[in-house]
Structure 1
Amino acid sequence: MAETTFTAEPNRHDATTVSLIDAPLPAVYKAYTDADLYSQWWAPPELTVRVDRFEPVTGGSWRIVNVDADGNEYAFRGVFHEVSPERIVQTWEFEAMPGHVSLETVTFEEVDGKTKVTSHTVCQSIEDRDGLKDSGMEAHAPVGMNQLEKVAQSL
């Protein structure tokens, strides 16, 4: 299982997730940039993921919808500002809360045959960051990273 920590210090606009994934960097990067693979690990297992748009290139955009067992949809969207095997920078916006955009920088680093994935998210306000944390992100981060590890290991 991936070793994952989630840090969201009080009174700050940012949160950081750090995971050590037991898979090589090229496989982890592919799981981040291939829509079919991304949809396998991105959401909690009780949700279905629908990828409406996924253009992981600098200047590309994305829109992903999570669907729960009752058919409720939770849509997210953003723009890729930078995409490279070392780093992905993108915006995130939960469509139910328009105007609350965060900026996420994900870095990939090889560590003894494993991949260290660091995701640093900066929100527009402390309240937005607290909303992110309280939405289940703290609990979901280790679950998502374990799912990512399984997908990357399967490649």
Structure 2
Amino acid sequence: MSRTTTNQTRIEADPDLPVIRIVREFDAPPERVFRAWTDPELFVQWIGPRSIDTTIERWDARTGGEWRYTGSRDDFSMGFWGSFHEVRPSERLVQTFSFDGAPDGVSLETMTFEPLEGGRCRITGVSVVESLEIRDRILASGMDVGVNEGYEKLDELLARDA
């Protein structure tokens, strides 16, 4: 079941800072959106582009926990991994994010979950990377497709579980 939403994803980059900021609203309260971010059974249903299947290898969504998942299709596979630095239910999630293709590149990501009127939620994700060059490579990688399609799938998941 698909649901049309008017929620738009904003992906922003300050020209002078190695930072990517993503802002998106969801038609669900912060508790449900946060759970979709931290429950591995829900996370695999929405993360990334529609053409990729996600498999969780490790998932310990608590402060000090670690995670690793693989996205794959046909004969292509890519791994992502990191640590949960702060897990504050329904409010804030701070984690590192690394990609197997760039094991020395670590992003520090802070996601906030802001309650809005009408039982809605705004998420703001801020990712800090090592350099402007790395930030620009990430932005040019097609990550916007994964972010946008993933958030569309999250909209659908939240609508099903409403």
Q: Which category describes the TM-score, using the shorter chain as reference length?
A: over 0.9
Q: Which position in structure 2 is the counterpart of 1:88?
A: 93
Question: Which structure 2 segments of 5+ residues have no match?
Answer: none
Query: Is 1:23 the counterpart of 2:20 in the alignment?
Result: no
Deviation at residue 11 of structure 1 after TM alignment: 3.9
Contact in 2 for aligned 1:63/1:75 (Cα 8 Å): yes
User: Which letter maps to 1:128?
Assistant: I
Query: Is 1:14 the counterpart of 2:19 in the alignment?
Result: yes
User: Structure 2 residue aligned with 1:79, among 78, 83, 86?
Assistant: 83
Aligned length: 154
Query: Is 1:54 the counterpart of 2:59 in the alignment?
Result: yes
User: Structure 2 residue aligned with 1:138, among 129, 138, 144?
Assistant: 144
Find the residue that maps to 1:132 and give its secondary structure.
helix
Normalized against structure 2, the TM-score is what?
A: 0.90
CA distance in 2, matches of 1:46, 1:79: 26
Query: Is 1:122 the counterpart of 2:122 in the alignment?
Result: no
User: What do the CA deviations read for 1:106-152 (whole angstroms, capped 9, x no partner)?
Assistant: 00011112110111100011111112111112333222212112212
Deviates more, 1:10-19 or 1:73-82: 10-19
User: Which letter maps to 1:82?
Assistant: E
Find the residue that maps to 1:12 and give its secondary structure.
coil
Deviates more, 1:32-41 or 1:4-13: 4-13
CA distance in 1, matches of 2:16, 2:141: 17
Contact in 1 for aligned 2:48/2:147 (Cα 8 Å): no
RMSD of the TM alignment (CA)?
Answer: 1.2
Deviation at residue 153 of structure 1 after TM alignment: 2.5
Contact in 1 for aligned 2:18/2:135 (Cα 8 Å): yes
Find the residue that maps to 1:118 and give its secondary structure.
strand
Contact in 1 for aligned 2:95/2:110 (Cα 8 Å): yes
Query: Is 1:45 the counterpart of 2:50 in the alignment?
Result: yes
Find the residue that maps to 1:99 and give its secondary structure.
strand
Deviation at residue 9 of structure 1 after TM alignment: 2.9
Deviation at residue 72 of structure 1 after TM alignment: 1.5
Contact in 1 for aligned 2:112/2:123 (Cα 8 Å): yes
CA distance in 1, matches of 2:112, 2:102: 27
Normalized against structure 1, the TM-score is what?
A: 0.94
Q: Which position in structure 1 is the counterpart of 2:155?
A: 149
Contact in 2 for aligned 1:27/1:153 (Cα 8 Å): no
Question: Which structure 1 segments of 5+ residues have no match?
Answer: none
